[in-house]
């Protein structure tokens, strides 16, 4: 600490196609209001460019992971995700982030929370936001985290070490059930929608129901004020139906406009998160869309053209900068679809480790 600034240890890490600040929970204020005030100042929010902080002026680069050693049986670390909004003084814990999740394992090992177990170390993670679990497999040759490799993911330049993530029991983690409305299809404002939550609440919609192709760029979508208004009206209308309450000021559900795949995948997506158009698609958002593809009769299932759906399938979800491959296993033998496995590949890298400095005046006045 100096006379004018407060320093707190942190790491800047890229997880998947997002990046953010990673903190040990013990290094942040225990009081939520004080913690959020600190994080806003650290990111430089509210400011569209976040010029006086570490944020990148976009929701995908204004994220925070708070990690602690877990006291839960069979769990290594607890992970709380916080979204810091660039354009307003708000810190949200209303959703999870599967991209940032990819860097939690490396961070936990780097900071001594998890001991390595040979060349590959499984890190069992409890996702606090959604009361759910995931296991990330981290390459640790010689007891050190390896960031170099041959794995490639769309939206990230170059090649890196793979981080394979298995999600466990994430169905209904935010909404209470995989299909929060109880239906594969609902009609909202005259539009067919599929509301689904397999780790991330998502509303699946047909792009052509909104007079678009579904192949527009994120910038084109954001410039379409009529489209945004219609999508937001549906989002607000389904909030209560999805057991999310009034979602006016919430970051969920995500709105995914679907169309036929054009680059060898199974389905194409354009996703609002919820007010900005995603440059790709979120990890757990992709998992929920892939799950919807496996759901007979859903909006996604019909666009994908899946009939007689198999119990196991690798689903390639296309997005504006490439695609996600989601490994899905489901059980269709009962009255309702049951997810038995959802897994995917990500990469991560530590970009910086040190201290973030926050002006004491910002902590006093923000």
Contact present, 256 and 234 (Cβ < 8 Å): no
**Cβ neighbours for 282, distance < 8 A, ≥ 6 positions apart:** 97, 98, 99, 200, 254, 271, 273
Q: Is the pLDDT of residue 364 over 90?
A: no
Helix, coil or strand: residue 322: strand
- H/E element holding 258? strand 254-260
Tens-place pLDDT, residues 268-304: 999 999 999 999 999 999 999 999 999 999 999 999 9
pTM of the model: 0.84
Q: What is the DSSP string of 144-191?
A: S----SSB--TTS-S-B--EEEEEES-BTTTTSSSSTTS-S-EEETTE
The radius of gyration computed from the CA coordinates of the chain, to the nearest angstrom, equals 20
Residue pLDDT, tens place only, 8-40: 999 999 999 999 999 999 999 999 999 999 999
The half-sphere exposure of 115 on its side-chain side, counting CA atoms within 13 A, is 1
Indicate the range of 102-116, 187-201, 325-339 predicted with least confidence: 325-339
pLDDT band at 121 (very low <50, low <70, confident <90, very high): very high
Cα three-residue angle 299-303-308, rounded to 5 degrees: 90
Instruction: Report, as an integer, the average pLDDT of 178-204.
Output: 97
pLDDT at 2: 55
Is the predicted pLDDT of residue 332 greater than 90, yes or no?
Answer: no
Neighbours of 203 (CB within 10 A): 31
The pLDDT of residue 311? 85
Question: In this structure, how many other beta carbons lie within 10 angstroms of the beta carbon of residue 335?
Answer: 6
Alpha-carbon distance 7 to 110, whole Å? 20
| Range with lowest mean pLDDT among 165-169, 216-220, 346-350 | 165-169
């Amino acid at each position: 600490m100096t006379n004018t600034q407060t320093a707190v240890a942190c790491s800047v890490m890229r997880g998947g196609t997002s990046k953010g600040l990673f903190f040990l929970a013990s290094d942040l204020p225990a009081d939520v209001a004080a913690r959020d005030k600190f994080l806003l100042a650290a990111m430089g929010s509210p400011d569209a460019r976040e010029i006086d902080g570490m944020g990148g002026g976009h929701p995908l680069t204004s994220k925070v992971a708070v990690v602690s050693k877990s006291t839960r049986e069979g769990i290594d670390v607890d992970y709380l995700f916080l979204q810091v909004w660039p354009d307003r003084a708000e810190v949200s814990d209303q959703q999870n982030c599967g991209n940032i999740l990819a860097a939690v394992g490396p961070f936990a090992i780097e900071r001594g929370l998890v001991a390595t177990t040979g060349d590959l170390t499984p890190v069992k993670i409890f996702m606090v936001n959604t009361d759910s679990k995931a296991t990330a497999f981290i390459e640790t040759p010689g007891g050190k985290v390896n960031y170099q490799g041959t794995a490639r993911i769309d939206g990230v330049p170059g090649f890196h070490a793979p981080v394979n993530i298995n999600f466990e029991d994430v169905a209904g983690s935010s909404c209470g059930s995989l299909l929060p409305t109880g239906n594969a299809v609902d009609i909202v404002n005259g539009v067919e929608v599929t509301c689904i939550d397999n780790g991330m609440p998502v509303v699946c919609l047909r792009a052509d129901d909104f007079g678009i192709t579904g192949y527009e760029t994120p910038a084109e979508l954001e410039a379409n004020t009529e489209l945004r208004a219609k999508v937001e009206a549906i989002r607000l209308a389904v909030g209560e139906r999805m057991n999310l309450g009034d979602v006016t000021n919430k970051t969920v559900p995500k709105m995914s406009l679907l169309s036929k795949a054009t680059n060898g995948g199974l389905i194409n997506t354009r996703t609002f998160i919820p007010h900005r158009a995603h440059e790709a698609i979120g990890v757990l958002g992709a998992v929920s869309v892939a799950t919807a593809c496996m759901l007979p009769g859903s909006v996604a299932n019909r666009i994908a053209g899946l009939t007689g759906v198999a119990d196991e399938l690798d689903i390639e979800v296309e997005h504006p900068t490439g695609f996600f491959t989601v490994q899905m296993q489901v059980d269709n033998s009962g009255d309702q679809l049951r997810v038995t496995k959802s897994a995917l590949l990500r990469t991560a890298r530590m970009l910086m480790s040190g201290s973030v400095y926050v002006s004491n005046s910002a902590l006093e006045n923000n």
